[in-house]
Structure 1
Amino acid sequence: MREADHANGAGGMVERAVETRGGGLAIPARWRLPLLVLFLLACFLPGLFTIPVVDRDEARFAQASRQMLASGDYVVPRLGEETRFKKPIGIYWLQSATARALGYGGEAPVWVLRLPSLAGAILAVLGTLAIGRHLFGEEAGYIAAALLGASLILTVEARLAKTDAMQLACAVGVQLVLARAYLARKGEPLGLAPVLLFWGALGLAILIKGPIVPLLAGLTIAALVIADRRAGWLTTLRPAIGVPVTALIVLPWLIAIYLQAGTDFFHEAVGNDLLGKVATGQESHGAPPGAHLAAFFIAFWPGAALAAGAAPWVWTQRRRPSVRFCLAWAIPFWIVFELVATKLPHYTLPAYPALALLAGAGLWGLRHSPSPLWARLLAGGAALGGAIGAFAGPGLLYMTEQRLDPVALALAVLIAGLGAFGFIRALRGGPLKALPALLMQAAAVALMAFGVVVPQIDSAFLGPRLAAALTRAPCPAPRVMVAGFDEASVLFHLGAATRLGNGAQAADFLAATPGCRAVFVSSRQQDTFTARAAELGAAPVALTTVTGINTAIMRRLSLTLYVSTGTPPDGPTP
């Protein structure tokens, strides 16, 4: 069974050549990879340079990396005055190295810190293409890669300075080698390069986000071993060489952080962050089992409908080793995260390449078969859903900023037209025929949403507006405190020395001497601030008020600026 699958899926060059002449992808082979990369850039680049830092996670990672660059401490990440131990060091190192390579230091703009995520997303898609070619043939591999690249969740993660896109690249690298080992002919060894890729990607993944990718690989292996009742193929991974490689990547920092911070990192990262998310819904992100499945149909748009349409083919081919590998990749990992209490859509992202591969293989495998009405309606529904959703972008801009943008409206009309075209193609020819329209629609949605609409929603980005308001202070470079808004974007835009606290603390801070001080006080902290100021015999004067949306909790917020001037001390300010 495995040798037949290898011939038909991974090595069947003659079969693929016949299929290409008999109705393969219309794009010439030499143009497919360049066009795929251009498509990825069209999906990932809009907004990368223009969207301000986003609360909550991106701002935390980006600010910690900037403080690492400013302090020169590359062992202990910090956010403001606190240590940042929720995740390991890997992403901070990658972001800091990128900034240094481009000539930036502690004031690096957020787009620089987003470049590792952009690279990770592109690598993940190209790795999915490589796996697809090996498992199912070139055409299915390109379809899978395009679906992953077009997915809404990856287009978001590619432009956020956080862990998940680069973790996905590591996960795909690990699974690529696992696929090669699993489908290899009996006795066929892996070369040294794939072995080093497997263990190296595993080590980097641990440094980026801890046990997630090892969990993915372990569940995949366990499912395959249980299903096949054979484990001999695992020896080709050469753990005697690989385990020391992973240890060499991971252990130096673990030892360094232990020497500097004791067990604090392990207590926070494992005890509070990891195990806490398993037991309870942290930061109001709890949801019942099944929430990830429901989110999939939005997060994997436009490919989710096509994946559902390919399900009958997957079922009939479930005993095929290449299909079995993808099922072992996706299903156990997905089940684990459905059972975890805390749920965010990106938690199941490492399983998405497997679903994209199954979708690509199913679409290509069913290309000569009439599509059932339900599959055509699903694909058509994805196209119409994108068309309807496109008008949410200009609508949101009007609701938040009372502004109609002609470019956003024109793009919404284009997306609607592509949706109508895709709907007709789906009904007449099936999901595969609708695929080009859906991919063009996805790229247009990325341009409209991230390139045009989001950068113009000023009220959603309070940090830059607070920084602009601070320029009205009657003294340069005042010490700053913010009461009632403690998101990391405050530190990113106002400086790492910015104090965070409540209204009473803001009044104390404003009354303290020496030097010029400024406080932003939220409306919820205003009464406390005023009462404490009265106790101190102060009568602070408001300079201006900034009103917007705290996007971390989706709540409107007003922050009033108060300033106190004093005689600056001699010498540096403590």
Structure 2
Amino acid sequence: MKRHLGHQALIIAVAACSYFTALGATRLWDEDEAFFATAAAEMHRHDDWIVPTFNEELFAHKPPFMYWMMRLGFLMFGVNELGARFFSAVFGIATAIVTYHLGRRLFDARAGLWAALALSTCLMWSIVSRASTADAYLGFFIALSLLVYARAVFAPREDTEAVEVPVAPSLAATLDRWVPSGWTTMAGIYALMAFAVLVKGPIGILLPGATIGLFVLCQTPSPSQIGDGLLKRGIARLRTMILAFPATFWRMRPLTAIAAVLLIAGPWFVAVAIKTDGAFLNEFFGVHNFGRFLKPMENHRGPIIYYIPVIAIGFFPWSIFAMPTALHSAFAPRDRSRHLFVLCWAGWMIGFFSIASTKLPNYVLPAYPALALLTGSWLAAWSARKDLLSARWPKLAFGTLATVGVLLIASLLGAPRLEIGGEPLLSKLGVNAALAPDLGRLFWLGFVPLAGGVIAIVLATRERRVAALWTSMAASTLFTASVLIVAAIALNPHQTSAPLASAFHRAGDSSGGAVQVGSFRHSPPSLIFYAGQHVERLKSADDAAGYLSGEGPRFLVTTDVGLKQLEAESDKTIRVIDRRPRFPRTGDVLLISFDRTETSGARTIEQAASEIPEMR
């Protein structure tokens, strides 16, 4: 018991240092984080717990759970970045603890510890645990529902040797063995899935429910013989699973699942349907669920292998162990049912989003605890000298870590200084050259994986396996924390929305009257959060000119390209109130208004801009 408490204390300490340190020190990052934080801020401002809005318009992207958590954060810390992000960090840590207990149940305490540390220090999970998005909440409820299932069907196994579970002789025996018989257990599992539905909709029950169903179907006995070829055995297995599907589906108590969703998530869906005359449900289900699956939205498309490089980066630094982890999961374990369960979890969730038309890196985050569990299983076996793989695999993995460090140093030192055809490389890549000095100063980040990889190789060569793993863990923690805290703070001054919002509020105060602001060719979600009011989005230069000509103090946020279009459209003098490099793309963003003062002769744009001091 003391060891388990010590493990959990270590997990919480490591994750908390990465997630809570300087959590509110940076402004909201566009686009997702700012979208959802703005919606929560508007619900908070209107004291509305039902209808999400963005820019004072219906925002049907997600159900309300994350907005509720952000509202609690706003009550605790104010309407700011810390309030929006706080409970993401809490749920990120909670998911790591759930992963630890899954590892304990399926493998042993050491595997659970390594799995939880891998999850809590990999790049992508750390990012969402420091962001005002739905991902940490969804990952928590899905992982917790699968933990309840695992505790119901897998016997406890601490540090004992694995024992192969015999294949059930019939479908009925399979269902008796792998589907919890107790109604209360299934009700508890579906209740947790229902909360996941409140986080992100139907996938809250589809992803974990299908994971359990796929695992049970994979356990059904197949009529194929040992001497049959691979293709014949595969066809026989598929046929068996198809025939077993109806009985498996019914045994999993679908009516209980429906009742749980209706009881927990149903009241809010009914309330939002009534308050919006069905508009929320039509857009949420029709556009943001079925629509995103069937066709790419907002140009978020990719090939079927899209998530292979995405996971390699998102699960870094622990993705360096991908090959030995895969080999260990496929060939080494004697008790294959436990690894099969985790493989079904990871395979189903990654496969489902791989065939979806719309693809985003965060879609597969519910599979990250499963990837961490598989990694933790191999790390525990290797450190205890129980793995059957070649000794070169760990050294290759640590070598990969060091190589990434070298490439990172070279990239951060070289890219900001390189030019192609007289134009900076960053500009060629669409990145604002104003970032070059700060990016170049971050070259030291590469020394963290470089040093960790080299030291781990030396220790592994000397057969000091545990020390090698703790070295790589320390390097992973330091690298991830450095990227998400130090590097983020270094780049934070380049964000433009907050200073632009402050500029038009100051200008409006000096002008008197209610401030009105619009945007043309530049309308990041964070601008609306920091504006704290409706921002009129204008589609053309003619619309922008007409907007600025209206009554009262009016301001426009635009780009240098938009300014040129507006200059060609209108003969009025344009006053540039603020101008700064666009982040992270090339060009500038500006805050402008029409000059309403009566002067002899119109000033040029350049003269007006020259009167404004440079702001960073």
1:475 to 483, 496, 511: 511
Aligned to 1:379: 398
Q: TM-score, normalised by structure 1?
A: 0.83
Aligned partners of 1:95 and 1:114 also within 8 Å: yes
1:443 to 461, 466, 477: 477
CA distance in 1, matches of 2:439, 2:59: 40
Aligned to 1:338: 354
**Pairs within 5 Å for 1:459-538:** 460-470=494-504, 471-472=506-507, 474-475=510-511, 478-501=515-538, 502-513=540-551, 515-534=552-571, 538=572
1:337: Cα distance to partner? Answer: 1.1
Deviates more, 1:50-59 or 1:232-241: 232-241
**Pairs within 5 Å for 1:34-53:** 34-53=9-28
1:387: Cα distance to partner? Answer: 5.7
**Pairs within 5 Å for 1:132-151:** 132-151=103-122
CA distance in 1, matches of 2:25, 2:562: 32
Q: TM-score, normalised by structure 2?
A: 0.78
Aligned partners of 2:149 and 2:180 also within 8 Å: no
Aligned partners of 1:46 and 1:450 also within 8 Å: no
Aligned partners of 2:408 and 2:445 also within 8 Å: no
Aligned to 2:326: 311
Aligned to 1:206: 197
Aligned to 1:80: 55
Compared CA separation, residues 419 and 305, structure 1 to 2 (3 A): closer
CA distance in 2, matches of 1:467, 1:395: 35
Percent identity of equivalent pairs? 24
Aligned partners of 1:408 and 1:448 also within 8 Å: no
Aligned partners of 2:548 and 2:556 also within 8 Å: yes
Aligned to 1:179: 150
CA distance in 1, matches of 2:296, 2:287: 12
1:193: Cα distance to partner? Answer: 7.9
Aligned to 1:9: none
CA distance in 2, matches of 1:47, 1:428: 39
Determine helix, strand or coil for the equivalent of 2:265. Answer: helix
Aligned to 2:593: 562
CA distance in 1, matches of 2:217, 2:193: 22
CA distance in 1, matches of 2:296, 2:13: 39
Compared CA separation, residues 240 and 509, structure 1 to 2 (3 A): closer
Aligned to 1:289: 304
Instruction: Count residues in correspondence.
Output: 530
**Pairs within 5 Å for 1:277-426:** 277-316=292-331, 317=333, 320-366=336-382, 367-368=384-385, 369=387, 371-386=390-405, 388-389=407-408, 400-401=434-435, 403=437, 413-426=447-460
CA distance in 2, matches of 1:392, 1:46: 27
Compared CA separation, residues 520 and 312, structure 1 to 2 (3 A): closer
Aligned partners of 2:194 and 2:264 also within 8 Å: yes
2:579 to 531, 545, 570: 545
> Residues 227-270 of structure 1: CA distance to partner in whole angstroms, max 9, x if unpaired?
22289999998777665343221111111111122332222112
**Pairs within 5 Å for 1:94-113:** 94-100=69-75, 102=76, 104=78, 108-113=79-84
Answering whether residue 298 of structure 2 is matched by residue 269 of structure 1, we say no
Deviates more, 1:251-260 or 1:405-414: 405-414
CA distance in 2, matches of 1:433, 1:312: 23
Q: Runs of 5+ in structure 1 lacking a partner?
A: 1-12, 14-26, 567-574
- Structure 1 or 2, whichever has the larger Rg, is 2
Determine helix, strand or coil for the equivalent of 2:124. Answer: helix
**Pairs within 5 Å for 1:161-200:** 161-183=132-154, 197-200=188-191
Determine helix, strand or coil for the equivalent of 1:321. Answer: helix
CA distance in 2, matches of 1:405, 1:291: 27
> Which one-letter code corresponds to 1:172 in the other structure?
A
CA distance in 1, matches of 2:415, 2:24: 21
CA-based RMSD of the aligned residues comes to 3.2
Determine helix, strand or coil for the equivalent of 2:118. Answer: helix
Deviates more, 1:245-254 or 1:144-153: 245-254
CA distance in 1, matches of 2:192, 2:254: 14
Aligned partners of 1:305 and 1:378 also within 8 Å: yes
Deviates more, 1:80-89 or 1:420-429: 420-429
2:489 to 449, 455, 473: 455
Compared CA separation, residues 429 and 402, structure 1 to 2 (3 A): same
Compared CA separation, residues 99 and 138, structure 1 to 2 (3 A): same
CA distance in 2, matches of 1:112, 1:451: 17
CA distance in 2, matches of 1:422, 1:359: 17
Aligned to 1:91: 66
Compared CA separation, residues 215 and 233, structure 1 to 2 (3 A): closer
1:277: Cα distance to partner? Answer: 2.0
1:389: Cα distance to partner? Answer: 2.8
CA distance in 2, matches of 1:76, 1:158: 25
> Residues 501-532 of structure 1: CA distance to partner in whole angstroms, max 9, x if unpaired?
1432222122111x222222322222432244
Compared CA separation, residues 563 and 465, structure 1 to 2 (3 A): farther
Compared CA separation, residues 407 and 533, structure 1 to 2 (3 A): closer
Q: Runs of 5+ in structure 2 lacking a partner?
A: 157-175, 221-243, 418-432, 598-616
Compared CA separation, residues 389 and 431, structure 1 to 2 (3 A): farther
> Residues 199-253 of structure 1: CA distance to partner in whole angstroms, max 9, x if unpaired?
2321111011012231222321221222222899999987776653432211111
> Residues 452-493 of structure 1: CA distance to partner in whole angstroms, max 9, x if unpaired?
222222464120231243335642563211211122111011
Determine helix, strand or coil for the equivalent of 2:529. Answer: helix
Aligned to 2:206: 215
CA distance in 2, matches of 1:371, 1:210: 44
Determine helix, strand or coil for the equivalent of 2:573. Answer: coil
Determine helix, strand or coil for the equivalent of 1:541. Answer: strand
Aligned partners of 2:21 and 2:485 also within 8 Å: yes
Compared CA separation, residues 36 and 492, structure 1 to 2 (3 A): same
Aligned partners of 1:189 and 1:236 also within 8 Å: no
Compared CA separation, residues 445 and 220, structure 1 to 2 (3 A): same
Aligned partners of 1:384 and 1:423 also within 8 Å: no
CA distance in 1, matches of 2:260, 2:85: 28
Determine helix, strand or coil for the equivalent of 2:92. Answer: helix
